[in-house]
Structure 1
C-alpha cells in the first residue's frame, strides 16, 4: 500500500473536516441509500457493524438510527474526520483510525460492513473486498458506495479539449465493478447519477476543496496557472455543471 499517498489523503480530508458537510450534497444522498440498502438486506439480527470511512458521520447517524442496539465500530483514515464524528454525531460506538484496506480484525466479526464513498481511495479494491468479506459472519453483508468512471466527466472533457489530462483519479466503471463482484456467490452492483450544480469551474474547485478530494492521481502534477485558466474557461463554456456517477455494491456471505 502507498503509505505516502494515504497520508496525503488523510491530511486533505482532515483539513476539510470542519466544512465538509457544507459541500456534501451527493455524499449525503449516497449515505442514505447505503443505509436503506443495508436495512432492506438485514433489518434484524444485527449485533455488530463496522463502518469504513465515516467522514463527518453522514452514514454513521443513519446506522445508529436503524440499529440502535448493535455494537458499532466506526473508523476513518483521517483522525480529524473521526474526531468530528465521535464528538458531534450523538452516536455511541467504538471509534478508531483505520485504513479500510488493512482492518486489524481476524475471523467472522461483523453482521454488516458499510461504507460511503471511501473505497475509491483504496490502492487495490479487489483485494480489499476479499479481506473485508472474510470478516463477515454467515449471512452478513458488505454494502458500499464508491465513485464511478463517469464522475466529473465534463471536467475531464475540458482538460482533454485543452490538451491536458485531469488530475481527478481514474475510477472503475460499472462493468468493471460487476466483474470484480462476479467471484462472489451473492453480490450485485448498480449505479446512480447525481447532478453537481457547481455553476462554474470555480464552483467545482470550491466543492472539491470543500470535501477534501484534492489528492490527484499518482504521478499527476498541478497545471500551470495559464493552462488551468484555459481549462476553467472551457468548462464554463460547456455549462459549468458536472456529474457524480456513484457505484453501489453489495456482497453477502452465504448463511451456512
Structure 2
C-alpha cells in the first residue's frame, strides 16, 4: 500500500507508483541520465565524514542504481532503501547486492520520527513530490547532528526542446513545471548549512520516438493533472516539430545538500 500525502488524495501518487511499477524491468536499460545523476549524488556524499557504521536512508531507490553506489562507498551501512513503487523496491532488493531494509513508502511522509540518519540520499525522485519545500524540511529533520541530505531533482530547463515542439504546433506539454536553481536555493536558505548547484546535460535518444520510449522505459509517463492527452495526429505533429530542431533533449538537474549542524 502506498502511503501518500493526505492532501494529494492518493490519486496522483498512486498513478506515479503504478507507472514506475510497470517500468521496473525496463528501467535500467532506459536510464542513462538517471545513472549519471546517481553517480554524482554518490560522489558528493562520499566526501561526507560518517560514523563507522552509518545509518543511511535512500528516498526513491528505483531499481537500485544509487543503492549500488551506496554499497560501494559504505558496505557496512545500516541502510533503508525506499521507493513509492513496491515493484521498484522489489527490483532493487533483488539487484542491489547489499544488506539492508527495502521499504515501500512515500518520501514526502517518511514513517520515522526525530533524528535518526547520518545520511539521506535521493536521486531524481523529488520532482514527483507535491510539496518540495516541506518534504526537504521533513527529511532534514530526520538527520542526526552532523548528518547530511544529498539529492538531485529535475530543473526548470528540462525537456525544453519537447516543450518548444508542442508550442510550435499550438499545444502544451504535460511536463511538470520544475523549479529553477534560484527557487531551490530559496528553499534551502532557511538551513544554516546548505548549498545547491545545477547541470545541463544534452541527450540524444534518436529523435522523438526514442525520447518517448525513454520516458516509458523509466516510468515517467504521468502528466500534470490538467493536461489533456493529445490525439495521435497532434502527437505526430509534435514529434515532427521536435525532430526538425535536431531531436536532442536537455536534462536540467538540480543538486542540493543540507547538513544538520552538530551541537
TM-score, normalised with respect to structure 2: 0.95
Moved over 4 A (4+): 43-46
Which of 86, 89, 102 is the aligned partner of 2:93?
A: 86
Render the CA deviation track for 1:78-102: whole Å, top value 9, x for unaligned.
Answer: 0000000101221110111000000
1:47 Cα deviation after fit: 1.8
Alignment of 1:107-122 (within 5 A): 107-122=114-129
1:227-249 C-alpha deviation (Å, 9 max, x unpaired): 11111110000001111010000
Aligned-partner Cα distance in 1 for 2:135–2:113: 14
What CA deviation, in whole Å up to 9, does each residue of 1:130-159 have, x standing for no partner?
A: 111110000000000000011100000011
Task: Tell me the distance in 1 between the aligned counterparts of 2:141 and 2:63.
Answer: 27
Q: How does 1:59-78 map to 2 (within 5 A)?
A: 59-78=66-85
Residue deviations 1:16-55, cap 9 Å, x none?
Answer: 0101011111100111110111111235545200000000
Pairs within 5 Å for 1:182-197: 182-197=189-204
Superposition CA RMSD, Å: 1.0
Q: How many residues align?
A: 256
**Aligned equivalent of 1:177:** 184
1:225 CA drift (Å): 1.5
Deviates more, 1:45-54 or 1:89-98: 45-54
The one-character-per-residue Cα deviations of 1:197-225 (angstroms, maximum 9, x if unpaired) are 11211111011001000000111121112
In the alignment, structure 1 residue 26 sits paired with structure 2 residue 27: no
Q: In structure 2, what is the equivalent of residue 105 of structure 1?
A: 112
* 1:193 match: secondary structure: strand
The alpha-carbon distance between structure 1 residues 145 and 46, as it changes in their structure 2 partners (threshold 3 A), is: farther
CA distance in 1, matches of 2:53, 2:188: 23
On the 8 A contact 1:46/1:112 being kept in 2, the answer is no
For the Cα contact (< 8 Å) 1:199–1:239, is it kept in 2? Answer: no
* 8 Å Cα contact 2:75-2:98 kept in structure 1: no
Unaligned runs of 5+ in 1: none
Moved more, 215-224 or 53-62: 215-224
The residue correspondences of 1:30-45 to structure 2 (distance < 5 A) are 30-45=37-52
Distance in 1 of aligned mates of 2:64 and 2:261: 30
Whether the aligned pair in 1 keeps the contact of 2:50 and 2:118 (CA below 8 Å) is no
Structure 1 length-normalised TM: 0.98
